[in-house]
Structure 1
Amino acid sequence: MNEQQPPGARYRLWPPHPRALAGLGATGLVLAGVAGAFAYTGGFLSPGKLTQSRFIDRFQALNGVHPGFRRNHAKGVCVTGSFASNGAGTRLSRAAVFAPGSVPVIGRFAVGIGKPFMPDNETEVRSLALSFRPAGGEEWRTGINDIPAFPVRTPEAFYELMGASAADPATGKPDPARMQAFLAAHPESARALGLIRARPFSTGFANASYNSLDAFRFVNAEGVSTPVRWTLAAVDPYVAQTPAPDAPHDPNYLFDALIVRMQQAPLQYRLVVTIGQPGDPTDDATQPWPADRDEVEVGTLTLDHIEAEAPGNCRDINYDPLVLPDGIAPSDDPLLSARSAAYSVSFTRRAGEEKTPSQVQVPETQTPGAQAPVTPSDTGKGS
């Protein structure tokens, strides 16, 4: 789908904002980082009351308006590379991306900040958005985070979470009592936060692993539908960041470390599909599936080129998770439709605004062994 033609009700874009919950400590960092990981489809809740425009308006109220930037996950950098399928995914899905061979990929690393000029230590959540582009014109877009669960189950709860995260006009800070009341009313969110806090965040983008969180369905050539989730597991060894830097001298330390790492050698991630079993929730992203579920490694993602956001690259792609090829279908997770139309609103607003250069700049040094970067114009999509 061409991002300059905003997607319809079946399509979306993607995620988070700054430390709106600074007064709540580490939990605040997590909630602020993941709160924006979804937006809303018009009229899905109460017609005439809650629309995709109101969701984006609330993002803007929380973060301010930064013309030309995404309303969430505003701070990011573009990467390109390829996905090499090993063919193992074809028993689960007829999608062309899983046929043996290699397809080009355009991606974007970002942090959970809605303000594009905030320092990296104002969040802990990292994200990776990808557009897989096999021959034939179909496309698979996905946006994934380095957390094990999403903190809310429904669109209604997300809207409440944003309200609870808002700063009190009298103090300029979030009200801890409002957040405590939200968590008391949503025990599933409290449980999800416990899972998120149980494992420290990684030291950077390169050694983080990224999870789909929402469930989808893979459909194979015989029409058999299988519930799945997926993970891009980092090949670089995980190293815990404990604690996060208080006030790093380099406000872009996460991105600068990623640039240095990619200029040394390509990054690689294993795409691992988890197969759901009867009874596993497909409509609740706050609940991870049991650890003993079957997993299938279906290929390897290699990212070999990095560049600053600019016209024609990842800056102009709406990473809608419901841009799906034949062979991949949405589940009954209510967050999926809720993460679609508002992304269209966000894209439409920023597309009509004057663009400001990203704070994350990349020296013109090619990664060893890198291929020519893929751009939206290479495939006629996202330009």
Structure 2
Amino acid sequence: MATRKLDRRMFMGLAAAGAVTVTGLGGFLALEGRVGSRLTGRSFINLFETTGGRFVGYRRNHAKALAVSGRFESNGAGAEVSSATVFAKGVHPVVGRFSVGGANPHQPDTGSGQALALEFSLPGGQQWRTAMAAAPVFMAPTPEMFYGLLSARLSGDKDRAAAFIRDNPAAAAAQKLIEAAPKASSFAEATYNSLNTFIAVGKDGARTPVRWQVIPDGNNAGTPAKIGPNWMFEALAKAIRGGELRYRLLLQPGVPGQDPTHDPTLPWPADRPQIDVGTLVLGHAIVQEQERIRDTNFDPTVLPNGIEISDDPILTARAAIYAESFRRRARETPAPVEPFGQDA
């Protein structure tokens, strides 16, 4: 029976990776594991395991997480730029996970590094998966530079890390933007960004580069008491246990030919208008949902009709890395679900 469960988990994850083949090259790279001229998804996952440890059954990054379930209340405004059904006026089921970066699911909370991954279930069996972070930009423009930066940072050698930043201006500029951005000490009050650029395809075939944000909508969580190693997750679990968290989903259309689509370290001009496309409501996930969310590969290139990947090379790298992480844990005994008091 255990073998059948693991096989089913692997099938689901590979099916999710296969779903991106409709976007073309991104799906091919995800399945083949190639992310650059010399790198593969295995290269990154090996690095995570070597430097951060190997924790059986867990994701190789963003291992520490809390599952949530809810809905997206679309107001229809997103149909201005995309034909995706998620932006038609209506309500769509959503599941997701709040997490922090790192391979260790038992690492103590620091009040930073928040991330949010979501899966929208749409008509006709389509899905939209997005993996966002509480950072304004990504840390490197190419898979090769991303790998070099991770290698330097995770080595524990401060001089090596400083030298890498000094020798790679793009990574240095991204680091400055990330460090200067406003910080939230809770999941409830953080703003989550798509990091990468995508292409919204309208009903008339018009193609518009877009980025998106999930911003808190009246989540008055207060300052969490920093008691114990899981204080940030326990504060999130308490907030969910007492009700629901609300966020606004904002699309930011770019100007074709002016706003960069290929480099996720470059911010777009601050005066680019945003479209408020609806309300995201997240709350308690029952145990069965928590287990399914644990087993889901939140590959950001799993997209519905009306949204496509851009020429950003980091997108295909993320797909390959996520797929390799899934393949490894799917062969292992599933990790226990940690509710952090959500079910208390």
Question: What TM-score do the two structures reach when normalised by structure 2?
Answer: 0.88
Preserved contact between residue 76 and residue 309 of structure 1 (Cα < 8 Å): no
1:316 paired with 2:326, answer no
> Which whole-Å CA distance do the structure 1 matches of 2:271 and 2:32 have between them?
34
Q: 1:261 maps to which residue? A: 239
CA RMSD after TM alignment: 2.4
Deviations along 1:172-210, one digit per CA (max 9) or x if unpaired, are xx1122111111121121111111111342020001110
> Which whole-Å CA distance do the structure 1 matches of 2:295 and 2:336 have between them?
13
> Which whole-Å CA distance do the structure 1 matches of 2:265 and 2:217 have between them?
26
Change (3 A) 1:249 1:308: farther
Preserved contact between residue 203 and residue 239 of structure 1 (Cα < 8 Å): no
Q: How far 1:344 moved relative to its partner?
A: 1.2
Deviations along 1:34-60, one digit per CA (max 9) or x if unpaired, are xxxxx99733423xx422212211111
Secondary structure class of the residue paired with 1:343: helix
Change (3 A) 1:55 1:134: same
1:209 paired with 2:191, answer yes
Which of 34, 55, 59 is the aligned partner of 1:66?
55
> Which whole-Å CA distance do the structure 2 matches of 1:332 and 1:227 have between them?
10
Deviations along 1:132-181, one digit per CA (max 9) or x if unpaired, are 001210100000001111111100001101220233xxxxxx11221111
1:337 paired with 2:330, answer no
1:236 paired with 2:218, answer yes
- Whichever residue aligns with residue 93 of structure 1, its letter is S
Q: 1:92 maps to which residue? A: 81
Which of 257, 260, 265 is the aligned partner of 1:281?
260
Preserved contact between residue 309 and residue 315 of structure 1 (Cα < 8 Å): no
Q: How far 1:307 moved relative to its partner?
A: 5.3
Q: 2:208 maps to which residue? A: 226
Preserved contact between residue 40 and residue 337 of structure 1 (Cα < 8 Å): no
- Whichever residue aligns with residue 250 of structure 2, its letter is V
Matches within 5 A, 1:104-183: 104-121=93-110, 124-167=112-155, 174-183=156-165
Change (3 A) 1:285 1:7: same
> Which whole-Å CA distance do the structure 1 matches of 2:299 and 2:34 have between them?
19
Moved more, 179-188 or 135-144: 179-188
Which of 273, 276, 283 is the aligned partner of 1:294?
273
1:251 paired with 2:261, answer no
Q: 1:197 maps to which residue? A: 179
Change (3 A) 1:118 1:40: farther
Q: How far 1:238 moved relative to its partner?
A: 8.1
Residues matched between the structures, number:
325
1:354 paired with 2:333, answer yes
Q: How far 1:343 moved relative to its partner?
A: 1.3
Matches within 5 A, 1:74-85: 74-85=63-74
Change (3 A) 1:6 1:136: closer
> Which whole-Å CA distance do the structure 2 matches of 1:65 and 1:114 have between them?
7
> Which whole-Å CA distance do the structure 2 matches of 1:361 and 1:252 have between them?
8
Q: Which sections of structure 1, spanning at least 5 residues, go unmatched?
A: 12-38, 168-173, 366-383
Secondary structure class of the residue paired with 1:7: helix
> Which whole-Å CA distance do the structure 2 matches of 1:198 and 1:240 have between them?
22
- Whichever residue aligns with residue 252 of structure 2, its letter is T
Q: Percent identity?
A: 43
Q: Which sections of structure 2, spanning at least 5 residues, go unmatched?
A: 1-10, 22-29
> Which whole-Å CA distance do the structure 1 matches of 2:281 and 2:293 have between them?
16
**Between Structure 1 and Structure 2, which shows a larger proportion of helix residues?**
2
Preserved contact between residue 206 and residue 258 of structure 1 (Cα < 8 Å): yes
> Which whole-Å CA distance do the structure 1 matches of 2:83 and 2:119 have between them?
18
> Which whole-Å CA distance do the structure 2 matches of 1:311 and 1:239 have between them?
23
Q: 1:19 maps to which residue? A: none
> Which whole-Å CA distance do the structure 1 matches of 2:91 and 2:176 have between them?
38
Q: 2:25 maps to which residue? A: none
Question: What TM-score do the two structures reach when normalised by structure 1?
Answer: 0.79
- Whichever residue aligns with residue 51 of structure 1, its letter is T
> Which whole-Å CA distance do the structure 1 matches of 2:158 and 2:31 have between them?
25
